[in-house]
Structure 1
Amino acid sequence: MSMGKYLPLLAALALGTSVVAANAQEGGPGAAYEPTGLRAGSFVILPSTELSATYSDNIFRTDTNTVDDFIFTIEPQVEVQSNWGRHALNLYAGLQHNFYDDNSDEDNTNWVVGTDGRLDVTGNTNIEGALSYRRAHEERGTPAALTLAAEPTPYDALEAAVTLNQRFNRMTASVGASYTDLDFDSVDAIGGGTINNDDRDREEFGQKLRLGYEVSPDTSVFVEGRLNQRRYDLQPPATAVNRDSDGYAVEAGLSFPATRLIRGEIGIGYQEQSYDSAAFDDVSGLAYHADVTWLATPLTTVSFGAGAEVGESTVGGSGGYLAQYAEVGVDHELLRNVILDANFRFENADYEDVSRNDDYIDAGAGVSYLVNRYARVRVGYDYAERSSDAVGLDYEENRVGISLILQR
């Protein structure tokens, strides 16, 4: 294994670790560990850079003939946040480059730029908006990733959303719309040839309406309806089948954003996605979500998450799949500047029209040492597994790594 071309990155990781360790006394007992940022008028600039080295025992996430490798990552990013009394405007940009030591075909660069904000029209009315553009690569082993691709599939995504929020005494109403444009690149295929992904390019439109009522100062009930339209760029005869679809979801639930020990939201309902082509059956099932944080003790925070959605299938003969997940995470402050974390996630992807059902498990644990407000070091372990009805798609992967996060 030749690591010469990564010596500058490894040197930066080692040098950065030694420098922040030498300045550890800046933290001291009782010192703050959150970044303060750079003041620029009425904005705060929060730059950061993460350097990491990771070992994986199965980088391609295959059932047999597994390949191990070292992965080195550099990830600079910057956030700009307003500190106005009214309104809000945030800007962000980030880049992530992954270097593989022995398998350079897996090298990839991801980046994103975006903005979001809020316009306070009155004390009871505001408009929220967001706009972003990103260049990314599909992670191997995920439900939509192509199993025959010789390298991670790159794609571009343009996303925009706007929401109008209105309060009427104890009642609230929100109406919003979203837009996503996805453009997938062609990739080399395992064994030769090229996979043309033009048939995956599409636009997705979404609309939602939500009504809420405050039953107490810290608890609200709500009902929400959502619509979506998915329109593919290619239509027959340019492609074999029309993959356009329309869907809806209805949920009711509770929101508790301001309680002392627990905050978050839960909802449950029903969803359905209908396809224009008679070759695809509708995908339907429970619609639900949970995003709850529990302050178990002054030193321990437990987070719960769950959800269900209809995804677009890349499996021949299947229009979509119903994905359902549940996850839990724990953060414990062992010392003021030593944080332990652990997480577990289970996801099921049930494909319509074909005999394929996948179970995913992702779990991990780590420890972070907060050197001072400018730097932290994390060492962690992650485990990933897929168990599938389809032959040859099972995998297990173990990862161990160390990261240095520099922030201002």
Structure 2
Amino acid sequence: MYKQYISSAVLLLASTLCVTAQAYANDQALAETPVFKRVPPAYEPDGLKWGGFIVKPQIEVETRYDDNIYSAETAEKSDFIVKTTPSISITKEYKDNAFWFSGEYGMERYAENDEEDQDTLEGLFGGLVRLTSRLTSGFEFMAAKSYLNRDTPGSSRQTARPVEAYTSSAEGFVNYNRNRLNLKFLGNVARKSYNDSADAATGNTIYFSDKNRMVYGGALETSYQLLKTDDTEHKFFTNFTYEKSIYDENSNALSANDYSEAGILAGFSTAYKGLLFGKIGVGYVRQDFKNTPNQDLWDIEVDLAYNITPKTTLKALAGRELKQDNSFVAGYLDTSYTLGVDHEFLHNLYGGASFTYSDLDFSGGQSTRQDSDYITNMYLKYYHNTNFESRLGWRYKERDSNTAGASFDNNIFMYSLTGKL
């Protein structure tokens, strides 16, 4: 009898120690990850398993209040918006290979300004195939329907309806790894097209179809591992990129200004003792145009995260990008900087705040225009249980422009509830 009690007690103690050890290991793994990337394992749904497939359905309902839906300098309009987004992901693993499909449909409805209602779609299919112990390849096909953001320069603030945008793309890569060296070859092709719209004041047609184009691209990404231990990894990387945009011949276009872009970015990436993560790179980008002078820039890319405590992460980002528009109605150089902090208040409650400054330096037909964007974001995320999570957020954006009618400010308050299996 006593031996039976002792055996039961030993088994109970052993199982308790195993569970405690696993929980400690999970906590340690989370503590060595930036806060904004953490998902507590206890709140990660397993999905539905059927015939070797893992199916994860999800639905998100987001409500938000926007005090300036047209991003207008004067005559601002506010509204309440509800967006419902059902989605699904399906994955299948076979030996060392994996395949996946995901799709989502977004229904966005405005309480008063129903002309702003939007329906978005996105579908994606991809795969990862291991060819040899050192060689892997992958592919991905995507199709999406979206809308131009009204707060983006050169977008659709002046149109009666949001402008629909369609994207379809295919990309593939081959990755080779040998000892410390890694080489990755990528190629992609995309089709981008837009619907025309009407001026909200005059009813005249505003042509967005002059942005319709094919985009062809390729890249070579190289990295060399300088140091690798159990908790530290340092790499040197060099990325070479090339992209060519060919615009449709369109009688309504101001010009079909095809261009190619070539760039190089080199730098250093690290994951240091569960404390410091990220990369710093510098490079050079050149754009060659068919009908207008060429442009180039010195590029920077900074993406750093530092766990100042096990529950607090500081982050810093910086980058430059040439954003072009056929006919140069709104071609500009975007230089942006972001500082932020994320904190784990409880094991299932996270929050954070960030501030972004962007300098927009225009070219072409608006070469005298200069904009500055100031963006503040705050959020709280709460995991109710394995199947439900909530998010509360606020965003404030202010644009200061030297061009009449281009300045604005905008507050957005939002709450979302997500259910998943």
Please point out which of 244, 258, 268 is paired with 1:254.
268
Kindly provide the amino acid, as one letter, of the partner of residue 267 in structure 1: G
Normalised by the length of structure 2, the TM-score is: 0.84
CA–CA distance in structure 1, aligned partners of residues 307 and 127 of structure 2: 28
**Aligned-pair CA distance for 1:70:** 0.6
Matched, 1:267 2:277: no
- Which residue is 1:166 aligned to? 176
- Which residue is 1:197 aligned to? 208
Please point out which of 59, 74, 83 is paired with 1:73.
83
Gap change, CA 1:322 and 1:211, over 3 Å in 2? same
What stretches of structure 1 of length at least 5 have no aligned partner?
1-29
Equivalent pair of 2:324/2:332 in contact (CA under 8 Å): yes
Matched, 1:291 2:306: no
**Aligned-pair CA distance for 1:177:** 1.1
Deviations, residues 35-60 of structure 1 (Å, cap 9, x unaligned):
22111233322221111211111111
CA–CA distance in structure 2, aligned partners of residues 295 and 157 of structure 1: 38
CA–CA distance in structure 2, aligned partners of residues 328 and 116 of structure 1: 34
**Aligned-pair CA distance for 1:106:** 0.5
Deviations, residues 294-346 of structure 1 (Å, cap 9, x unaligned):
333222233433322221226x6557322222223432111122222222222
Please point out which of 317, 321, 336 is paired with 2:347.
336
Equivalent pair of 1:281/1:319 in contact (CA under 8 Å): no
Please point out which of 378, 386, 390 is paired with 2:403.
390
- Which residue is 1:368 aligned to? 381
The secondary structure found in structure 2 opposite 1:146 is coil
Equivalent pair of 2:136/2:176 in contact (CA under 8 Å): yes
**Aligned-pair CA distance for 1:71:** 0.7
Deviations, residues 279-307 of structure 1 (Å, cap 9, x unaligned):
x3322212222333333322223343332
Matched, 1:233 2:248: yes
CA–CA distance in structure 2, aligned partners of residues 256 and 45 of structure 1: 34
Equivalent pair of 2:300/2:319 in contact (CA under 8 Å): yes
Kindly provide the amino acid, as one letter, of the partner of residue 87 in structure 2: Q
- Which residue is 1:18 aligned to? none
Deviations, residues 236-288 of structure 1 (Å, cap 9, x unaligned):
x66332310111111111122575222333211111112100xx332221222
Percent identical pairs in the alignment equals: 25
Gap change, CA 1:304 and 1:83, over 3 Å in 2? farther
Gap change, CA 1:327 and 1:211, over 3 Å in 2? same
**Aligned-pair CA distance for 1:221:** 0.6
The secondary structure found in structure 2 opposite 1:32 is helix
The secondary structure found in structure 2 opposite 1:294 is strand
Question: Which is worse superposed, 160-169 or 55-64?
Answer: 160-169
Equivalent pair of 1:156/1:183 in contact (CA under 8 Å): yes
Equivalent pair of 1:283/1:321 in contact (CA under 8 Å): no
The secondary structure found in structure 2 opposite 1:240 is coil
Runs ≥4 residues deviating over 4 A: 316-319
Superposed counterparts of 1:8-407, under 5 Å: 32-191=42-201, 192-217=203-228, 218-234=233-249, 239-256=253-270, 259-277=273-291, 280-313=292-325, 317-318=328-329, 320-353=331-364, 354-407=367-420
**Aligned-pair CA distance for 1:347:** 2.2
**Aligned-pair CA distance for 1:135:** 0.2
Equivalent pairs, count: 375
CA-based RMSD of the aligned residues comes to: 2.1
Equivalent pair of 1:283/1:322 in contact (CA under 8 Å): no
Deviations, residues 353-407 of structure 1 (Å, cap 9, x unaligned):
3211222222221222221111112222111121222111111011112211111
The secondary structure found in structure 2 opposite 1:152 is coil
Would you tell me which structure has more helix in proportion to its own residues?
2
The secondary structure found in structure 2 opposite 1:122 is coil
**Aligned-pair CA distance for 1:196:** 2.8
CA–CA distance in structure 2, aligned partners of residues 181 and 43 of structure 1: 31
**Aligned-pair CA distance for 1:129:** 1.7
Normalised by the length of structure 1, the TM-score is: 0.86
CA–CA distance in structure 2, aligned partners of residues 40 and 348 of structure 1: 50
Equivalent pair of 1:179/1:206 in contact (CA under 8 Å): yes
Gap change, CA 1:348 and 1:41, over 3 Å in 2? farther
Equivalent pair of 1:205/1:230 in contact (CA under 8 Å): yes
The secondary structure found in structure 2 opposite 1:199 is helix
The secondary structure found in structure 1 opposite 2:42 is coil
Gap change, CA 1:180 and 1:306, over 3 Å in 2? farther
The secondary structure found in structure 2 opposite 1:390 is coil
CA–CA distance in structure 1, aligned partners of residues 47 and 118 of structure 2: 29
What stretches of structure 2 of length at least 5 have no aligned partner?
1-39
Equivalent pair of 1:283/1:320 in contact (CA under 8 Å): no
Gap change, CA 1:83 and 1:303, over 3 Å in 2? farther
CA–CA distance in structure 1, aligned partners of residues 41 and 130 of structure 2: 35
